Structure 1
Amino acid sequence: MNRPTAHPLSPQAPLVPPASHLVAAGYGSPLLKQALVDSLIKFDPRQQVRNPVMFVVWLGALVTAALTVSPTLFGPSHASHLYNGVVTAILVITVWFANFAEALAEGRGKAKAASLRHTSTELHARRIVADGREETVSASALNKGDLVRVERDELIPMDGEVIDGIAYVDESVITGESAPVIKEAGSDVASSVTGGTKVISDSLLIRVTASPGDSFLDRMIRLVESAQRQKTPNEIALTVLLSVLTLIFVIVAAAMAPVASYLKAQINVADLVALIVALIPTTIGALLSAIGIAGIDRTMRFNMLATSGKAVEAAGDVHTLILDKTGTITVGNRMATALLPVAGCSAARLTQAAYLASLFDNTPEGRSTATYALNEGARPVVGQDKAVGTEFSAETRMSGSDLPDGRVIRKGAVDSVSRYVTEHYSRPVPPDLTALTEQVARQGATPLAVAENGDILGVIMLSDVLKTGIRDRMEQLRTMGIRTVMVTGDNPVTATVIAAEAGLDEVVAEARPEEKLTLIRREQAQGRLVAMTGDGTNDAPALAQADVGLAMYTGTMPAKEAANLIDLDSDPTKLLDLVAIGKQMLITRGALTTFSIANDVAKYFAILPALFITALPGLNALNVMGLATPQSAILSALIFNALIIPLLIPLALRGVRFQPKSAEVMFYRNLMLYGVGGLIAPFIGIKLIDLGLALVM
């Protein structure tokens, strides 16, 4: 079967935009406008009640709004219509800022969903019926198991598996990558196709593997609509904690009314509402949902699809990473790194023979050998364009060239080449060949023997080249307390060498697919969270068992369905990025919670003295900010409380900067930065606002 001819594609913008600030492309004018509209819709009490902290603020705004109309609604009051109205306005703005933060975080997901829906517009398919005829039907009429033929420049109507043909497919609508990929029958990972992608060469016969409404594109649309996401366990726990704190502070504020009456302190209902709002952790309550949604969004910007926030959060808590060698730790293609001649053979002769033996070898290893030999001094020979190539086969495990001058050159597995020269030329195997072979194996490389006219000349060393910076990344993971395990089908010697060079903690060699599942279960039985990558059908059980399973988009449907994350770039090293994203989300939530609680402590020094200073003049000692009047103190604290929310929205969406350090170091760093900072900021901010109010009151 002929390979399809490459089809030029015009560059296309990726599905997932790069990270940006609010005013940049990622959060441009259309997204901001839509977020403003959605934030108003979120004033619906049915939505507000889902966030207990902000629901209390919303109720407080209702109470002060009623007092604005009738200041004596709950009894005698010294508060004016204007004062109650200002308090109401500040509380409404506080709730609105919280709504805006959540709407802005949701906006990207909704924009992605709209883009995907545009892709999944009504398609038509040429279905193969029983007698072999083709009939044109709507894609929505296709059922699992139907056969459809897709010609060049046609869209694939539904998820399926290629059962005949080979063609280039443009998957940029899913991956954002404009370069086409080859799809062909009989391949475990290259036979899977997705509805909405485009065939740009030749044709394919596809068996449908999904029902209408359950295609990969449909599932992507549902998953990126973050508004309907499930809260993560940590987020639920924090919400419960914030709810309990809010309830306690509501009770405390309510108990102050009789105390104030006994002390004959003039406290208005609006002041008590302001006290509650200042006491409860409104900052983290307003931003908590946005932090979770933004965590999922960050995975999308890395071209990873998360089925839920739980998967992203679990990545941040992972204890063990199970990594495949090929494509994750190494570049995936072995490369020629040395040529070792046997005794009596010159290096120049071996170099030239290795080059000529690779003339017709189009594998990455073959091209690497030819390039290496040319760099070492090999030169093209006269008549090599008329040479006859011998392709590699699983039976012979050799390839080579038959030159016009009569030379027969072969390269391949050492045992196969040794058997070849013995059977066809009755030549002995060089006595030092075994030593050279063992020397290469001890270095974790693969040896290939080279023979010319029955004489074995030496060995080509093919090495698994480590990905750039992989050792540093392994060291960073170890610093974070994450254990790394390499699983490979290689022999123990090669696997041990690669693992040592990459700096991994453990290696499992000659591993069969079922051993991955056993390894994951063993780690989980010891209380560890496990993450792994995979792309084949045989990886599906292990991906489903792992706490974090990252499937490659180019992988099989069973693998993608078993995983809880899908990498649209099909880059196994994304697992390392995913850990950083998960930890960043957890750190961001912890940092802003610390900042919020520290803020509340500082605000007490503004409001409490203002409430009781007339009845208890001694409390003036607590008025360390020197605020002008009790009214300006309360309003300044409320205004600061409202303004801090939009100021922290970019940080909640972007995330606190993550550094690969131990949990203890990160804890103390964030405690000093966000804890101490959260204490100091209100003193400065409230004082500046008070000075401004003093000029207008």
Structure 2
Amino acid sequence: MNQAAATSKARPPRSRSGDRRQPRKKTKISATGIYLRAIKDAFVKLNPQHAIKNPVMFLVWVGTLITLAVTIEPSLFGPVQQNNPQLFNGILTGILFFTVWFANFAEAVAEGRGKAQADALRSTKLETTAKKLATDGTITEVPSSSLKQGDTVYVVAGDFIPADGEVIMGVASVDESAITGESAPVLKESGSDVASSVTGGTRIISDELIIRITAESGKGFIDRMIALVEGAERSKTPNEIALTVLLAVLSLVFLFVVVTLPAFAYTVKNPVSIPVLIALLVALIPTTIGGLLSAIGIAGMDRVAQFNVIATSGKAVEACGDVNTLVLDKTGTITLGNRLAEEFIPINGHTLEDIANVAWVASVFDDTPEGKSIVRLAEKLGARVDFDYNQAQAVEFSAKTRMSGTNLPGGREVRKGAVGAIKGFVRSRNGRETPELDAAYERVSQQGGTPLAVCLDHEIYGVIYLKDIVKPGIRERFDQLRRMGVRTIMLTGDNHMTAAVIAKEAGVDDFIAEATPEDKITVIKQEQAKGKLVAMTGDGTNDAPALAQANVGLAMNTGTQAAKEAANMVDLDSDPTKLIDIVSVGKQLLITRGALTTFSLANDIAKYFAIIPIIFASANLQSLNIMKLTSTNSAVLSALIYNALIIPALIPLALKGVNFRPLTANQLLQRNILIYGLGGIITPFIAIKLIDILITLAGLT
């Protein structure tokens, strides 16, 4: 079917059906709404089936039920020597309950931010009427939910694209603001490796397209985004599981210690009640990090989402923190990516007008920014050509030939491309090379430009100087990564000399020149064989194997469906430099988790000195009561109140993350110990003493 035929058959009368609706505005949920939802969800999470997933908080939850039982029947575990035990046990039960609830609340707030984003995305999903295109060109209007993979649909200006797909015919502008938040339309066209993928729910605002559906209803990109940001598919990462196991082991150790205390208390004739033992256990186990661990992981994914990047799992975000090697394309990532023709350098006795004419012919079918800039420069220099344009044949660029050009009527061949490739082309046609070509090649390369040779049949006419510019500030960003122990490798199709100049200017650690798509996956495998974790970006179908092989693969939203399926992250803004930001977010996630773990474990020192000396006063341990707490009841309640309140106090830090600084592992360890280790010792000493004073003044001792 030709395009004209498709257009004539595929213009149904404009209707007032769902496909003509204006796009809905994104749903905005305020911070108040998130917190109100979190309060409700925190109670739902008290369900034992959910509580048991967190061993530390489940132990607190069990302790709450035991103290509740003792509040109802104080003599449940034997005679009671305490005055008014129900009041003390009741207060203790309330504190333990809120300790669990605060942990649930922290997780619910983190999830709430993801649910708010999911609600906004869900509002973009529209049930529309799709124009399904049959093989004979006829159109049937069907609900978009009935479309299947492989179906073909026709859309015109004003229509919503009914499902994810690939453009197979046409060129049109598409409004993707519902997904990316960017109001500028995006050009979509068939045959492009990075601009043919379209997303269901976006709207075509000009011209028309024929699209082949690549995802069935409920399995599209927006559906996956909703599931991911909402947390429906969140699973614990390997590091998170390891830390959970460690916290569970520590809790069991403290449980064993507390269980043996009654025997010690019996020998010193200082019996300890069950509620006090439970209070001691809860005070000593790492409840702070246990309560915030899940929130930290969820918040890490949310911080990635704030960069307009969708991660397929928390594992992908965490892997960013462990990345040792970044594999980066030069064009668009390290350089601005808009290489433009700066100068023509004629050789072999040819004039500037000669090379301008040949360069124009070689680039007339090249629609890339580079090709268009060559045509503009040639026309500026007065290029004049005389051939039947309709009889000429375009020769597309390929990574293997590293050339493109035009086959003229009569059999003459015009080519432009890498100097080495053009040399080989000319030799195959019994042409000859000259020292002038190598001199021009070196001149351009030494300036950090890209030299393209131009030839007509067996004769080389000269070199085109393509100028590329390193992005401002990129060197400083690579310096930061180097201080974090991350190695950067630049891949480029440029020759070795040009690549070396760009690599030196950008400050990358290593580079591979004249790289092919196959080199990407080779480099990744080589780095992984050394025990490195590798991250890379990509957008084309030929990038898909490397994206799948990398530990962190960031695909561009403008890329092909194959690239987005292979990657574990998708950048909605299609900015390759985001990979550097995402690595920083991953590092921040690990730093935050380590800092709060250090703080939580350091807290135990103060809580130990608060409870142990005073409940074993008859064992002459009063000298250890350095906080001079009033009584056993006051010491226990003060320690537990602090233990409960520190969880909501640290929620903002868990969600925002510890301030990130590009430091080495040893520097980070020293900083954590100094700030969060020392702070974790001093803070509870002060807080517990202040709470003790307030409890004493309130007469609760």
For Structure 1 versus Structure 2, the TM-score category normalised by the shorter chain is 0.7 to 0.9
User: Which of these residues, 160, 164, 185, is aligned with residue 159 of structure 1?
Assistant: 164
Partner of 2:680: 678
Alignment match, 2:287: 282
Unaligned 5+ residue runs, structure 1? 3-9, 16-24, 400-409, 420-428
Alignment equivalent of 1:143, drawn from 106, 131, 148: 148
Q: For 1:636 and 1:151, locate their aligned partners in 2 and report how far apart those are by CA, in whole Å.
A: 68
CA distance, structure 1, for counterparts of residue 135 and residue 377 of structure 2: 54
Give 1:307's aligned amino acid.
T
Quote how far apart the aligned CAs of 1:131 are: 3.5
Match of 1:82 among 77, 81, 87: 87
Q: Determine helix, strand or coil for the equivalent of 1:43.
A: coil
Contact residue 149 and residue 205 of structure 1 kept, 8 A: yes
Q: Partner residue of 1:690?
A: 692
**Contact kept in structure 2, 1:315 and 1:578, CA below 8 Å:** yes
CA distance in 2, matches of 1:341, 1:211: 55
Relative to structure 2, which stretch is displaced further, 318-327 or 26-35? 26-35
Instruction: Give the aligned partner of residue 46 of structure 2.
Output: 43
Q: Which residue of 2 aligns with 1:628?
A: 630
* Partners of 2:603 and 2:681 within 8 A in 1: yes
What is the CA deviation profile of residues 302-357 of structure 1, one whole-angstrom value per residue up to 9, with x for unaligned ones?
1111111111111111111111111111111114667889999999x99x99xx99
Query: CA contact under 8 A between 1:330 and 1:464: conserved in structure 2?
Result: yes
Q: What's the CA shift for 1:115?
A: 2.3
Query: Which residue type is aligned with residue 204 of structure 1?
Result: L
**Structure 1 residues 397 and 550: CA distance shift in structure 2, 3 A:** closer
Superposed CA deviations along residues 385-411 of structure 1, whole A, max 9, x for unmatched, are: xxx9x9996599799xxxxxxxxxx99
Structure 1 letter corresponding to 2:171: I
Moved more, 75-84 or 643-652: 75-84
What pairs up with 1:471-620 in 2 under 5 angstroms? Answer: 471-613=475-617, 615-616=618-619, 618-620=620-622
Which residue does 1:404 correspond to in 2?
none
Task: Give me the whole-angstrom Cα distance separating, in 2, the residues matched to 1:192 and 1:83.
Answer: 65
Tell me, yes or no, if the aligned pair for 1:12 and 1:176 is still in contact at 8 Å.
Answer: no
The residue type paired with residue 596 of structure 2 is: L
Residue number in structure 1 paired with 2:427? none
Cα distance between partner residues in 2 of 1:129 and 1:144: 14
- What is the Cα deviation at residue 449 of structure 1? 9.0
TM-score (normalizing by structure 2): 0.84
Q: CA deviation at 1:435?
A: 3.1
Read off the aligned partner of 1:592 and give its amino acid letter. L
Give the partner amino acid of 1:93: F
Aligned-residue Cα RMSD (Å) equals 3.9
Query: Per-residue deviation at 1:463?
Result: 2.0
Of residues 326, 332, 338, the one that matches 1:333 is: 338
SS of corresponding position for 2:74 = coil
> How many Å separate the matches in 2 of 1:111 and 1:568?
18
In structure 1, distance between residues paired with 2:650 and 2:340: 49
Range moving further from structure 2, 436-445 or 283-292: 436-445
| SS across alignment from 1:315 | helix
Structure 2 CA distance for aligned equivalents of residues 339 and 663 of structure 1 = 50
1:127/1:457 CA distance change after superposition, 3 Å: closer
| Structure 1 position 179 matched with structure 2 position 181 | no
CA distance in 2, matches of 1:242, 1:218: 35
Alpha-carbon distance in 1 for matches of 2:23, 2:168 = 30
- Report the Cα distance in structure 2 between the residues aligned to 1:14 and 1:393, rounded to whole angstroms: 45
Q: May I ask how many residue pairs the two structures share in their alignment?
A: 649
Q: SS of 1:119's equivalent?
A: coil
The CA deviation string for residues 407-458 of structure 1, in whole angstroms up to 9 with x for no partner, is xxx9987999x99xxxxxxxxx99967634431123331347999xxxx999
Tell whether the 8 Å contact from 2:556 to 2:576 is kept in structure 1 after alignment: yes
Pairing partner for 2:256 from 244, 251, 260? 251
Residue type at the aligned position of 1:332 = G
Q: Is the 8 A contact 1:331 1:467 kept in 2?
A: yes
**CA deviation profile, 1:219-265 (whole Å, cap 9, x unmatched):** 11221221541100010011001111111111211111222233221
Comparing 77-86 with 363-372, greater Cα deviation is found at 363-372
Using a 3 Å threshold, how does the CA distance of structure 1 residues 367 and 138 change in structure 2: closer, same or farther?
closer
Q: In 2, Cα distance between the equivalents of 1:605 and 1:60?
A: 22
Q: CA deviation at 1:86?
A: 0.7
Deviation of 1:642 after TM superposition, in Å, equals 0.7
**CA distance 1:301–1:154, shift in 2 (3 Å):** same
Q: Which deviates further from its counterpart, 276-285 or 530-539?
A: 530-539
**Mean Cα deviation higher: 56-65 or 587-596:** 56-65
1:12/1:178 contact within 8 Å kept: no
Q: Is the Cα–Cα contact under 8 Å of residues 437 and 459 in structure 1 kept in the other structure?
A: yes
**1:213 Cα deviation from its structure 2 partner:** 2.1
- Percent identity, aligned pairs only, is 57
Q: What is the TM-score with the length of structure 1 in the denominator?
A: 0.84
Equivalent residue number for residue 5 of structure 1: none
Distance, in Å, in 2 between the alignment partners of 1:547 and 1:657 is: 25
Aligned counterpart, 1:463? 467
The Cα shift of 1:366 comes to: 7.8
Amino acid at match of 1:73: L
Residue pair 1:150, 1:156 contacting (<8 A) in 2 also: yes
Among residues 637, 641, 645, which one is paired with 1:639 in the alignment?
Answer: 641
The residue matched to 1:549 in structure 2 has which SS?
strand
Q: Shift in Å at residue 636 of structure 1?
A: 0.7
The alignment status of 1:231 with 2:236, answered yes or no, reads yes
Structure 2 SS opposite 1:157:
coil
Aligned residue among 259, 265, 271 for 2:270:
265
- State the secondary structure of the residue aligned to 1:150: strand
Note if contact 1:14-1:177 (Cα within 8 Å) is conserved in structure 2. Answer: no
Distance 2:23 2:118 in 1: 22
Cα drift, residue 461 of structure 1: 3.8
Residue 13 to residue 313, structure 1, CA distance change in 2 (3 Å): farther
Cα distance in structure 2, aligned partners of 1:89 and 1:594: 27
Q: Deviations over 1:559-602 (max 9, x none)?
A: 11111111111111111111111111011101000000000121
Q: Does residue 210 of structure 2 align to residue 205 of structure 1?
A: yes
* Partner Cα separation in structure 2 for residue 342 and residue 523 of structure 1: 42
Taking the aligned partners of 1:540 and 1:50, their CA distance within structure 2 comes to 36
Equivalent position to 2:74, from 71, 75, 80:
71
